[in-house]
Structure 1
Amino acid sequence: MRRFLLAGLGLALTGLLPAAAQTTNSGTDKFAQLETMLPTPNSYRTASGAPGSDYWQQRADYDIKVTLDDAKQALTGRETITYTNLSPDTLPYLWVQLDQNIWDKNSMTTATEVNSLSDKMPFRTLETLVDDFDGGFRIESVTGKDGKALHTVTNHTMMRVDLPTPLRPHQSVSFNVKWHYNINDATKGGRCGYEYFPADKNYLYEMAQFYPRMAVYSDNQGWQHKQFLGNGEFTLPFGDYKVSITAPADHVVGATGTLQNAAQVMSATQLKRMEQAKSAKKPVVIVTQDEAIKAEGNRATGTKTWNYVAKNVRDFAWCSSRKFIWDAMQITQSGKPVLCMSYYPKEGNPLWGQYSTQVVAHTIKTYSKYTIPYAYPVAISVHGAIGGMEYPMICFNGGRPEKDGTYSAERKYGMISVIIHEVGHNFFPMIVNSDERQWTWMDEGLNSFTQFLTEQEWERNYPSRRGEPRNIAAYMATDKSLQTPIMTNSESVLQFGNNAYGKPATALNILRETVMGRELFDYAFKTYAQRWAYKHPTPADFFRTMEDASAVDLDWFWRGWFYTTDHTDLALESVKSYNVNTKNPQVENARLQQQKAAAPQSITAQRNATDIKQTLVDEKPELKDFYNSYDPLAVTPADQQRYTAYLGTLTDDQKQRLGDSQNFYELSLRNVGGLVMPVVLQMTYADNTQEIQTIPAEIWRKNNAQVTKVIVTKKPVISFVIDPFQQTADTDLSNNAFPRQPAASRFELFQQQFQTPPNPMQQQTSRSSSPMQKLEQKPVGSGQ
């Protein structure tokens, strides 16, 4: 416990560090503005982060006809693409994406894939190495509107179409493409494909990237024709789609957009059920499980063609199978009807029948609240072998129970989370159309963050995998050689899930909860979504909008979290305690007497008390004098007179300040991890009450590595803790408390287990007399 004179208090508060120490650390100033790193604003993209007065984007409209060959697992198709040049540039050629060429035997993905051999290898790895599947696009013809062949050049997953006449600004051109390809086995990987069910010898198709698609031509980079290698997803222009899908007559086909010929492809019973679904409070089964099982055992002859139309979308996907159970429920979002639907095989029940469509509806409502109203007419979740993949109005999701119908909590919440995530992609990037080929985090990170908000509104204390700062701390503490900054191209990212999903999602949650506050953050985030809905935003547009709509300078945050691999590790190195010296001898001397009485005796004094039976002065009292009875802490009249004289030199305010019983604490803070962050400080007082103070990150602006901070309290503090709620992703909690607090943990004794125990539901049902009776799917809704 230290005390200082009141006159010295001002120096203690203003001169916390020597002048030299207050300068910025050597190296990059963590609070330097990003202005020199971001693109120069212009009439297309403004300094505020909003689209400029001259903003433009291209348009691509499609008329597509495809036929599914269920016997050969192949697809044939033809399309007419109408491309409209809304740029100020004249285009001599167009670039078309051929994403299926990733499955070509000579693809760049296969050639550049890094692999190795070991003494023991699973069959699946071997099968991958020797797999001879050839599934790339086979382009049969590319012709102009007049039917004449157009010159093309294919470069792996990109095809250049040379135009007979350059396409001038505000002109359109139409051309035709015919193609076919072999569909890949989705259980071996990929973002689409088929799943085969040996028990009933049926296939389930989740179809995407099935047609040649226009690449994006934009103001900020021209053609986005970076090769598709697998991680960097898709960048596509908006347009209208007219798609006809011919499939076996007993297949159910779901797709992006609205079905145009329901009366020709659905039964009267199915149509009646669909009408009931539009006013139902819970999902109505359009195709029941019994009906799907019956279809599995039969093989209808002939085909049906399902016609779909989608307006102002950036892509199109579909699903097809005779195994599908189909349920639907219509909700109203911002005054518009949205038909929420799910397609799933019986292998997905009971999980899918109970949860999928309800999750779809919940996601649409929650995302619309935090971003923009969902404006499309349908939202679909499909269950198959694809673990999770998104397209406009439709997505493919995993999460299958055990064969006996039981499932673990992890499987249940994993399924709900993946549906939320993939349906949520309708907003990022299907509507807020960022460049996935370049910046994965702009769709996956923003979507994972909004997924976290949606999960927490699904169920209290939902076990979210990503979003909570404590969940990303272990990744951020790993060696920097194993990390890349968030601002890394999609194909070069290390630890893809952590970097592109978890870290940006956590960063946004920290912005919302700790840096900006919910009100400022939510408004700015919604503003970004509103500004860039149905447009092509860049990272700079997001960064600038978040600052523009909140008046919070976040350059330090973007720099640290997005451009570096620094991590949060703030340390409370020491605390010095002070009180004001009142100079009142009655008060100060009494305090010193208490300290003296409380001070422990030295070990020497303790042993001398017993070992030395009598001192010389004890033996000869004549050796004692004045100082043997003098008490230096006794208050004398002279002491009192000096105090009275001192009070006479003070003003009334100074006398009041002198009498305040305030406590002063000087905290020494160090930024060990390099990432500057707010200091969230919890103080526990002597009466066991607590108080939280949040010191903005700008405390580090003049010294990024070490600062001191004086805290003044009315009550004495017995402990200080930094980040008590783990809201900054601090990677080392052992240096956050003063006095230091030992980390509590336990160890476990075990015998090695050789088989995975059954899940709790399986254990419970095994004790019942009829477990499958409890797990049998019950029809929901009306019309059964």
Structure 2
Amino acid sequence: MRISLLAAGLGLLLAPAIGRAQTTNSGTDKFEQLGTELPTPNEYRTASGAPGPRYWQQRADYNIRVSLDDAKQAITGSETITYTNLSPDVLPYLWVQLDQNILAKNSITYATQVGQVSNGRLSFQELDNQMAAAEFDGGYKIAAVTDASGKALRYTINHTMMRVDLPTALRPGQKVSFGVKWSYNISDQLKINERSGYEYFPEDKNYLYEMAQFYPRMAVYSDATGWQNKQFLGNGEFTLPFGDYRVSITAPADHVVGATGTLQNPDQVLTSAQRQRLASAKNAKKPVLIVTQAEATQAEGKRASGTKTWTFAAKNVRDFAWASSRKFIWDAMGISQNGVPVMCMSYYPKEGNPLWGQYSTEVVAHTIKTYSKHTIPYAYPVAISVHGPVGGMEYPMICFNGGRPEKDGTYSADRKYGMISVIIHEVGHNFFPMIVNSDERQWTWMDEGLNTFCQYLTEQEWERNYPSRRGEPRDIVAYMRTDKSLQTPIMTNSESVLQFGNNAYGKPATALNILRETVMGRELFDYAFKTYAQRWAYKHPQPADFFRTMEDASAVDLDWFWRGWFYGTERCDISLEGVKYFRPSSKNPSVESKRMLTERQAQLPSLSAQRNATDLKTTAVEDKPELKDFYNSYDPLTVTDADQQRYNQYLTTLSPEQQQRLNGNLNLYELSLRNVGGLVMPVVLQMTYDDGSTDTQTIPAEIWRKNNEQVTKLIISPKNVVSFVIDPLQQTADTDLSNNAYPRQPVASRFDLFQAGQVGNNAPQANPMQNAKKMPLEKREDKPNPQ
């Protein structure tokens, strides 16, 4: 450790620095309060982050009838929407979302997509998918828009939005009912990667349908944005008002249907055995099969004639989705959440087993319990996970999830944990944004980021040291290192975000984890986060409502954090540039003389002095002794009686406490810290002492408040420090660990030796379970016990 050894008085060392606060090179003070970046508080949304005394939101209730054509893979439907104007405004027209028009022939979504032939290569699958999307006509065919009496209403369709002109403007407090009839073709999810559609199984010639965005839905009208009628281009998801739903789904008679809400006519659509199993599942300790794999397999092989209509009802939800197939295995298990019964259920084809039968419903139940603990109690009656080709998509009380084992029933660890994670994530969306109903069309991070953070907490409570992909600060470092031209701030509209997964999921989730563990602490963070969820449950929050609530409920000023993590693209890189070591002089001439003599003896003569000892036969003074005087024999380290008397007199001027500090074992270290990355963050400092023990202290980010770029920190320790390390547990997402230690320490890294064609995506996925099954029986750990 290169340390400067200086003797100095305490008064000099602790003298305060005086001068003007220095900001960054850009001239921006990173601790400046968020001002114009946030909207002005008003009677609808307060400065505390809570809904104001005159907060309002609209309501839309639906009565929907829809028919599934299993032969043509098409939908036909009709609905009555009752819209209640609870705003203070007069509305001459209403806006309705037609999100299915993203698949219309004239879709601007596909017209504005960019792509390239990379290195002169394009896979058949990429080409087929591009052509399928271009050729498929999956947009809405609107047959009629009518008032309550059946009279036609004027309407105008603009891509994914439809304006319905009202004969009489809708005044505050009034409601209006109108009807829409429509149809559309269902897309093949394996060819067109959208949020809903069908999967075809050629082995048994059956279809599995995951149906969402299947009906024209009301857009949100709010105090923050007016009509949120920004076009749906693919990334910015769905902003919807709350209401009650009654939905009747007509499907083939041998299909099993799962949906948002509770089934209203079980006697008409379920067998006596299925109803009994469902009843027994309410108090079961593990999932009960309502439809067994044997029953589902039998249904695959034969086709029942006719149809059945399944009717579901849901109260105070923002959307509705459903799934239908004769291939479905169905299991269920009831739990109680704060005294409210919740039926956790899964629907999956046999191709999902054994993974789905073992894990899905258990994961649903675990997710509901864990999210309820960290946010608000889940109050809906059901929570459903459906297995299909979609990687993951969420709706109230129901979600669609991927994760399929190999055909031989084996699976890799990545596949297992990937499936568990996607179920946690999509079920967790019941809380964000299905209950805490943020504007996804504008701010993806408000649902995906907050949900990914809660997903991380839930994963860690599922299994100790669970291999979470997002949430740990070290896992966002690679993204934070990328060039700023490849990044956008988190506070960017959903359709304009670069590196969507990192920006909208990973970075905000990591930011919240850092807030919880390093900046605020768990107690303050958890209380504030729950307060936000409680305040905005079943309402429409904006980013400022979240930012303000987190500060309001914790008394922690976080404007610097929001500014850096959410409004900027700078990275954390704090460098420990150097360390100076000080010990206060004891002023005792006997003590100091011995110390300085020891230092003198330990110091090696310079190279010149060593050579002069042999090369110079004599010096001038040695040749002429008369040139010597007092100082040739004087030793400044010789202690005289006068020196000791002056010391004794000095002691009389000190208090007992000051004398103890003067003579005690006190070490002072001056640390030079530089903010290389630009993002101000707390300094987590670990000290290792000469006795092998360690100590860690977290210095708040406010250490940078007077100089955002460079500061010095004085560490006073009774023990001798042999090394300092910044962020030893990688809890601040520091992007360069090579400058975090003093003395410098090498940072471990790796490189791969590979054979061409066997790296990256071309390398086979590890599946130890499959390899174990191929192993001779006598070598397998899972071989049957002969007893």
Q: What is the TM-score when the length of structure 2 is the normalising length? A: 0.95
The equivalences for 1:31-180 within 5 A come to 31-118=31-118, 119-131=120-132, 132-180=135-183
Q: Offset of 1:63 from its aligned partner?
A: 0.4
Distance 1:620 1:540 in 2: 86
688-697 vs 478-487, which moves further: 688-697
Task: Name the Cα RMSD after superposition.
Answer: 2.2
Q: Does 1:498 align with 2:506?
A: no
Separation in structure 1 between the aligned mates of residue 739 and residue 515 of structure 2, nearest angstrom? 23
Mapping 1:188-337, distance limit 5 Å: 188-337=192-341
Aligned residue among 392, 397, 407 for 2:396: 392
Matched, 1:756 2:764: yes
Check whether the contact 2:24–2:708 (CA below 8 A) recurs between aligned residues. yes
Q: Which runs of 5+ in 2 are unaligned?
A: none
2:588 paired residue number: 584
> CA–CA distance in 2 between the matches of 1:734 and 1:453?
30
2:682 is the counterpart of 1:681: no
Partner of residue 778, structure 1:
none
1:553 and 2:549 are equivalent in the alignment = no
Alignment of 1:527 with 2:531, yes or no, is yes
Cα deviation per residue 1:488-508 (whole Å; 9 max; x = unaligned)?
A: 000000000000000000000
- What is the one-letter code of the residue matched to 1:104? A
Write the letter of the residue equivalent to 2:774: S
- Look up the SS of the partner of 2:305 in the other structure: coil
User: Given the superposition, is the C-alpha separation of residues 67 and 645 from structure 1 closer, same or farther in structure 2, using an over 3 Å criterion?
Assistant: same
Question: How far apart, in 1, do the equivalents of 2:697 and 2:568 lie?
Answer: 28
Deviations 1:40-59 (A, max 9, x none): 11111111111111111000
Task: Describe the shift of the 1:601–1:753 C-alpha distance in structure 2 as closer, same or farther (beyond 3 A).
Answer: farther
Q: What amino acid maps onto 1:114 in structure 2?
A: V
Shift of 1:593: 1.3
Instruction: Report sequence identity in percent.
Output: 74
- Provide the rounded CA distance (Å) in 1 between the counterparts of 2:172 and 2:593: 90
Deviation at 1:631? 3.4
Tell me by how many angstroms 1:748 deviates.
4.9
Aligned to 1:575: 579
**What does the per-residue CA deviation read over 1:82-129, in whole Å, with 9 as the maximum and x for residues that have no partner?**
000001111000000000000001111011111223522101221233
Amino acid at match of 1:237: P
Deviations 1:681-729 (A, max 9, x none): 1111111111111111111111111111111111111111111111111
Partners of 2:189 and 2:246 in 1: CA distance: 26
Q: Distance in 2 between matches of 1:334 and 1:677?
A: 38
Asked if the contact 2:772–2:780 (Cα under 8 Å) also holds between the matched residues in 1, the reply is no
* Secondary structure of the structure 2 residue equivalent to 1:312: strand
Deviation at 1:630, TM superposition (A): 4.6
Q: Could you say what secondary structure the match of 1:526 adopts?
A: helix
Letter in 2 for 1:760: P
Aligned pairs for 1:423-462 (under 5 A) are 423-462=427-466
CA distance in 1, matches of 2:201, 2:610: 85
1:766 matched to 2:774? The reply is yes
Superposed displacement of residue 653, structure 1: 3.6
Shift of the alpha carbon at 1:10? 3.4
Whether the aligned pair in 2 keeps the contact of 1:338 and 1:379 (CA below 8 Å) is yes
Asked if structure 2 preserves the Cα contact closer than 8 Å seen for 1:25 and 1:703, the reply is no
2-side partners of 1:723 and 1:116: how far apart? 41
Alignment-derived partner of residue 366 in structure 1: 370
In the alignment, the residues of structure 2 paired with residue 227 and residue 546 of structure 1 have an alpha-carbon distance, to the nearest angstrom, of 31
Rounded Cα–Cα distance in structure 2 between residues aligned with 1:26 and 1:301: 72
Q: Say which SS state the counterpart of residue 140 (structure 1) adopts.
A: strand
Structure 2 residue matching 1:720: 3-state secondary structure:
strand
Q: Residue 449 of structure 2 contacts residue 508 of structure 2 at CA under 8 Å; is this kept in 1?
A: yes
1:407-448 CA distances to partner (integer Å, 9 max, x unpaired)?
Answer: 111111010000000000000000000000000000000000
What 5-or-longer segments of structure 1 have no aligned partner? Answer: 776-784
Residues matched between the structures, number: 772
Shift of 1:604: 3.6
Does residue 632 of structure 2 align to residue 632 of structure 1? no
Deviates more, 1:737-746 or 1:544-553: 737-746
1:121-159 residue CA offsets vs partner (Å, 9 max, x unmatched):
101221233230000000000000011100000000000
Give CA deviations for 1:651-691 in whole Å, capped at 9, x if unaligned.
Answer: 43432332222111111111111111111111111111111
Alpha-carbon distance between aligned partners in 2 of 1:587 and 1:619, rounded to the nearest angstrom: 33
Residue 726 (structure 1) aligns with: 730
- Structure 1 residues 623 and 748: CA distance shift in structure 2, 3 A: farther
- 1:20: how far off? 4.6
| Stretch moving more, 395-404 or 629-638 | 629-638
Q: Confirm whether residue 594 of structure 1 aligns to residue 598 of structure 2.
A: yes
Q: Deviations over 1:431-469 (max 9, x none)?
A: 000000000000000000000000000000001111000
CA distance in 2, matches of 1:316, 1:13: 65
Distance change (3 Å), C-alpha of 1:23 and 1:71: closer
State the one-letter code of the partner of 1:661: N
1:774–1:74 distance in 2 versus 1, CA, 3 Å = farther
TM-score when normalising by structure 1: 0.95
Corresponding position: 1:742 with 2:750: no
Asked if structure 2 preserves the Cα contact closer than 8 Å seen for 1:30 and 1:559, the reply is yes
Q: Quick one: which amino acid aligns to residue 245 of structure 1?
A: I
Rounded Cα–Cα distance in structure 2 between residues aligned with 1:561 and 1:629 = 67
CA contact (8 A) 1:573 1:670 kept: yes
- CA–CA separation in structure 1 for the residues paired with 2:498 and 2:415: 26
Q: Is the 8 A contact 2:22 2:708 kept in 1?
A: no
Deviations 1:513-545 (A, max 9, x none): 001100000000000000000000000000111
Name the SS for the 2:14 alignment partner.
Answer: helix
Mapped to 2, the partners of 1:616 and 1:142 lie a distance apart of: 113
* Residue 650 of structure 1, CA deviation: 3.1
3-state SS of 1:94 partner: strand
The answer (yes or no) to whether the contact 1:405–1:772 under 8 Å persists in 2 is: no
Counterpart CA distance in 1 for 2:23 and 2:484 is 27
Secondary structure of the 2:50 match is coil
Contact 1:25 1:704 survives alignment (8 Å): no
Matched letter for residue 53 of structure 1:
P
Q: 2:359 aligns with which of 355, 359, 364?
A: 355
1:264, distance to aligned residue in structure 2 (A): 1.1
Preserved CA contact (<8 Å) 2:23 2:708: no
Aligned-partner Cα distance in 2 for 1:696–1:456: 27
Report deviation, 1:621: 10
Following the alignment from structure 2 to structure 1, what is the Cα–Cα distance between the partners of residues 330 and 550? Answer: 41
Kindly state the Cα deviation for residue 474 of structure 1 after the two structures are TM-superposed: 1.1
Equivalent position amino acid for 1:110 in 2: Y
Mapped to 2, the partners of 1:101 and 1:619 lie a distance apart of: 103
Instruction: Flag the 1:771–1:234 CA change in 2: closer, same or farther, 3 A.
Output: farther
Judged with a 3 Å threshold, the aligned counterparts in structure 2 of structure 1 residues 749 and 59 are, in CA distance, closer, same or farther, namely closer
Give 1:101's aligned amino acid: N
